[in-house]
Amino acid sequence: MSYWGFPEYITVAEKKAKAEKKLAQLRKKRPDIAPVVLEGNVLARTWWGKAWNKNLERYADYSNRIGRGKSYVRHGAVLDLRIEGGKVSALVQGSRAKPYEVVIRIAPVKKGNWDHIRKECQGELRSLADLLAGKFPKTLGDIFLADGKGLFPTPQEISFSCSCPDWASMCKHVAATLYGIGARLDEDPLLFFTLRQADTGEMVAQAVKDKTGDLLARAGKKSARVIADADLSGLFGLDMDGLPDFSAASKPPADKRTSRKNKPQPVPEAGPGPEEKTQGTATALVEEIIGKKPAGATVAMLEEATGFPRTKIYAITSRLRQQGRIRYVAQGVYGPP
């Protein structure tokens, strides 16, 4: 019922109860449904989630409309949200019984932008885990967020639609979905690169190659303290289809003046060091836990069982998925192949 032309006021508690009831109904038909659930009232907690929201809010044509979706996210109205390459699909509970269907399409990162970003990352990234945790120099964060030249999309690169009757250029359901993306990136930052169709392994591998190649060149020779090429993927937390070849950088230029007497003796190759063993053990542990869960293991379950930070879990599960050793079940859920 409405009064004097205004819609009836509905309390936040009533909105939450309505969303929870609808979610319970949907779960019976779709057990893999993935609602956006916030911890408290904070919309985003990690660097990637906060950066996503900050990017949207800084544009004038979004800033005065996107705020309409905050309350919807906070009372659990985003019942399902899925991210794939260039597309986000969501179900958002509104005033009617049936949830509204939202589709947001986002263009890939421009090739020129991507090439520039990769170049600027040279020698600055240590691992995939650091990238996902937002642990990189502030200058990289500024480059990622550069207006129109960074990793984050501009309004011109975003298009959306909603099944609701609101003809506004951005309805509350679309706005809620946009904030829901930020919350989802808190759970799995790798989804940002999936959405923007950018290769994290390529970016980190190039940075690792540049930094490690430089270290080997300055060392003048490969010693037992320098990890073998084949172990780089485990150490840096990424899966590289083609490992960079550092052998050329590790060979010092020939010196004709070096006598046979003073010629450096070859250093025997070292076996796996503690770091490599630890990495292999961590991967095996995660794979073993997932293997015992036919219905799938959540990231939270893996955190509790292993004691590993979430960023490390993401790096390991990403590598195992690429190798076909585990499968993707649902948002943040992994099962045996």
Phi-psi region of 171 (alpha: psi -120 to 50; beta: other; left: phi over 0): beta
Question: Which tens digit of pLDDT belongs to each residue from 8-52?
Answer: 667 778 888 888 899 999 989 888 899 998 888 899 999 999 999
Residue 255 confidence (pLDDT) above 70: no
Q: What is the pLDDT of residue 82?
A: 95
pLDDT of 194 above 70: yes
| β-pair partners for 328 | 334
Selected residue with higher pLDDT from 254 and 50: 50
CB 197 within 8 A of CB 232: no
* Domains assigned to the chain: 12-107+153-195 (no CATH), 273-337 (1.10.10.10)
Return the structure tokens found at 115.
Answer: 């090439």
- The label of the residue with tokens 């597309």 reads 87
Q: What is the pLDDT of residues 264-301, one digit of tens each?
A: 555 554 455 554 445 678 888 999 999 998 888 888 88
